[in-house]
Amino acid sequence: MIRAAALSLLMFVSVAVTLPLADSLAEGLKGNRPSASRSARRRHSRAWWRRYRSRLARRRAAEARARQIAALRGEAPVAPESLDRSRASNAVAATGGVFNDPSGQWSMRLPRGWSNRPAIQNGEMRFRVFEKSGKPVGQAAFAFVTSAQPVMDGSLSARARKQMLAGVPFSELRSAVIDRMVMSNGFVTNDIEREIAGRKVYVVLAQTAASSDGRTPEQFLTFYFMEFEGRIYSLGVAATRETANRLNAEAEQVLNSLSAGNR
């Protein structure tokens, strides 16, 4: 009886001593074991990390471009919907009439509603377009593109000549619009050849989508390229779906009125 009691007491003491040692050993092993994230990180190769950093750089560059575009849109002088009568009358009063190029290269007649005090940036003249009430309905931009390029007789086929404007291939003009649309998160929808005021005109149609928050509506853009006095100019208009036809018609009136200035 005494022997059995002694053996039971000895086993109890052994278990009591062994449990803390096991817990301590488990904690030590756990602390020495690498974390899942560290082991996962070690599994990626150097090439994987290079691609990962490249994706991050492209994402940051895209975000920077988006911020730049948003800033440019914010700089566009667009009046608010709640425009009062005095501001509306002042905006419409400063529209229409003959506009002369400051360098004397050309002059044009602006339709009623087109601001005759354009903002000039990087050689591009930006005109705001208003309704009679003073509400902005779109904008237009006129700019010099390049000089006409001479074409040697017999150097190009008749088909290639047809696809050119003053020696500049249509593809180059279209590519310029595509690059611009990429920066504006838009896309080119079509291109056609027209004749305005007896001159050959290359037209590129484009579009941008509405913003996800609904604050910026979709825009319809038309870019007209025309040769005048040995120089190629572009006139681009941007409008909503409701006002696109009006601005396109008025843009063609502007091109029709283009005449030589007093240098």
Please state the φ and ψ torsions of residue 143, each to the nearest 5 degrees. -155, 150
The fraction of the chain above a pLDDT of 70, given in percent, is 70
Residue reference for tokens 């690059």: 179
Max mean pLDDT range (91-95, 102-106, 207-211, 231-235): 231-235
CB-CB contact of 241 with 222 (8 Å): no
The tokens for 150 are: 């001479």
pLDDT tens, residue by residue, 211-255? 888 788 899 999 999 999 999 999 999 999 999 999 999 999 999
pLDDT tens, residue by residue, 5-63? 555 555 654 545 454 545 554 455 455 544 444 544 457 788 877 888 878 887 777 67
Distance (Å, rounded) from C-alpha 219 to C-alpha 239? 5
Beta-strand pair 168-169/259-260: unpaired
